[in-house]
């Protein structure tokens, strides 16, 4: 039975590129939920030791408030190998009300299962871009994700100093988008300010110390930033805002049921570090910190305070709150 329309009963994401894995998974979930509540309609399981019958029962389960069920099996390589026959049988007559997403390192599209999925589902390969294609990806990513124009020269400069990892480059583009603000373009001077020099600073160490409730360390790291760059205070709020948004993303993904090991792959952090950090960071607290930081930025720009005092007050207020919490 071949499906019509955007819904796919079975999707496979495979390959070594963690960044495109996550992007592809987000697109599939958004499409298949079709506006449904992920807290109610989505289930995540780890493929190691998972029961195929339980997973397929989850896919077939009707959603209480309507919509489609989405079941994501992480690290599904062994799961697919152990249950290939059962998955092939299910692929012959999948449910209309759910989508099974298999996230693997490797998948062979020429197997019987792969051939069937080409007919009814979707197979997405996530491999690393060739080096020569990365600057072009930077240009298109800036335009599509951040609505910014990046020249080829600036893209090449960014790749030279930040490396070829799409994960890292996207993080740098997010910082650059915050740094340039309402300006529509990102040029070489911006890359120099926020990547070549700025990445040598320890602004994100400040954010980590705040999350740990270590006000003394946060203030010490902040003084290192100021001592190494006179322009650092003006750039720090953008960097701290990026750090907060990063923590908010991790918190949201954890609250949504994503395993720590999966989040850690995207942020290059071991699960134990994320667990310790996120224990002190509720979503409400992070959102309050971000709102407070944006108010401090506005006050600094309108002459009601300085960047230095605004950041120090921010550190003392929220570092102390994290420790008390």
- Condensed to tens digits (0 to 9), the pLDDT of residues 238-248 reads 667 777 787 78
Between 272 and 89, the more confident residue is 89
In-domain check, residue 5? no
Q: Is the pLDDT of residue 200 over 80?
A: no
- φ, ψ dihedrals at 105, nearest 5°: -80, -40
Q: Is the pLDDT of residue 141 over 60?
A: yes
State how far the alpha carbon of 87 is from the alpha carbons of 44, 47, 187, 209, in Å: 17, 13, 50, 47
- φ, ψ dihedrals at 125, nearest 5°: -95, 130
In-domain check, residue 3? no
Same domain, 150 and 231: yes
* Neighbour-count burial for 195-227, b at 16+ CB within 10 Å, e otherwise: bebbeebbbbbbbbbbbbbbbebbbebbebbbe
What pLDDT band is residue 46 in, cutting at 50, 70 and 90?
A: very high
What pLDDT band is residue 292 in, cutting at 50, 70 and 90?
A: confident
What pLDDT band is residue 273 in, cutting at 50, 70 and 90?
A: low
Same domain, 241 and 257: yes
Same domain, 176 and 300: yes
Between 70 and 283, the more confident residue is 70
d(CA 148, CA 215): 35
In-domain check, residue 32? yes
State how far the alpha carbon of 226 is from the alpha carbons of 73, 177, 235, 296, in Å: 46, 22, 11, 17
d(CA 13, CA 106): 9
pLDDT value at residue 72: 96
DSSP symbol at 129: P
**Number of domains observed in the structure of the chain:** 2
Range 64-69 average pLDDT: 78
- φ, ψ dihedrals at 232, nearest 5°: -60, -40
Burial of 238 (0-12, 13-18, 19+ CB in 10 A): buried
Q: Is the pLDDT of residue 85 over 60?
A: yes
State how far the alpha carbon of 126 is from the alpha carbons of 16, 37, 163, 214, in Å: 6, 27, 19, 39
Same domain, 63 and 142: no
Between 177 and 236, the more confident residue is 177
Q: Is the pLDDT of residue 267 over 60?
A: no
Same domain, 167 and 277: yes
Burial of 88 (0-12, 13-18, 19+ CB in 10 A): middle
Same domain, 283 and 304: yes
What pLDDT band is residue 82 in, cutting at 50, 70 and 90?
A: very high
């Amino acid at each position: 039975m071949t499906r019509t329309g955007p819904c796919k009963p079975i999707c496979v994401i495979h390959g070594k590129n963690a960044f495109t894995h996550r992007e592809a998974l987000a697109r599939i979930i958004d499409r298949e939920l079709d506006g449904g509540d992920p807290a109610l309609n989505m289930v995540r399981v780890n493929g190691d030791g998972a029961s195929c019958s339980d997973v397929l029962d989850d896919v077939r389960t009707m959603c209480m408030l309507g919509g489609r069920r989405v079941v994501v099996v992480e690290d599904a390589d062994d799961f697919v190998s152990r249950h290939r026959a059962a998955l092939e049988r299910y692929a012959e007559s999948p449910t209309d009300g759910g989508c099974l997403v298999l996230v693997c390192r490797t998948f062979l599209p020429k197997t019987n299962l792969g051939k069937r999925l080409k007919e009814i589902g979707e197979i997405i390969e996530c491999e690393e871009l060739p080096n020569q294609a990365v600057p072009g990806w930077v240009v298109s990513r800036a335009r599509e994700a951040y609505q910014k124009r990046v020249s080829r020269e600036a893209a090449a400069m960014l790749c030279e100093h930040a490396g070829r990892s799409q994960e890292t480059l996207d993080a740098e583009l997010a910082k650059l988008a915050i740094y340039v603000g309402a300006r529509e373009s990102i040029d070489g001077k911006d890359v120099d300010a926020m990547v070549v020099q700025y990445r040598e600073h320890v602004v994100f160490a400040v954010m980590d110390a705040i999350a740990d409730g270590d006000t003394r360390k946060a203030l010490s790291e902040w003084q290192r930033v100021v001592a190494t760059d006179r322009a650092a205070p003006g750039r720090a709020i953008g960097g701290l805002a990026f750090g907060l948004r990063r923590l908010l993303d991790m918190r949201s993904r954890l609250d949504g049921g994503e395993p720590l090991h999966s989040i850690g792959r995207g942020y290059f952090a071991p699960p134990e570090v994320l667990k310790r950090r996120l224990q002190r960071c509720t979503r409400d607290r992070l959102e309050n910190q971000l709102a407070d930081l944006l108010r401090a930025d506005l006050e600094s720009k309108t002459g009601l305070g300085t960047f230095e005092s605004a950041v120090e007050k921010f550190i003392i207020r929220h570092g102390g709150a994290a420790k008390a919490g």
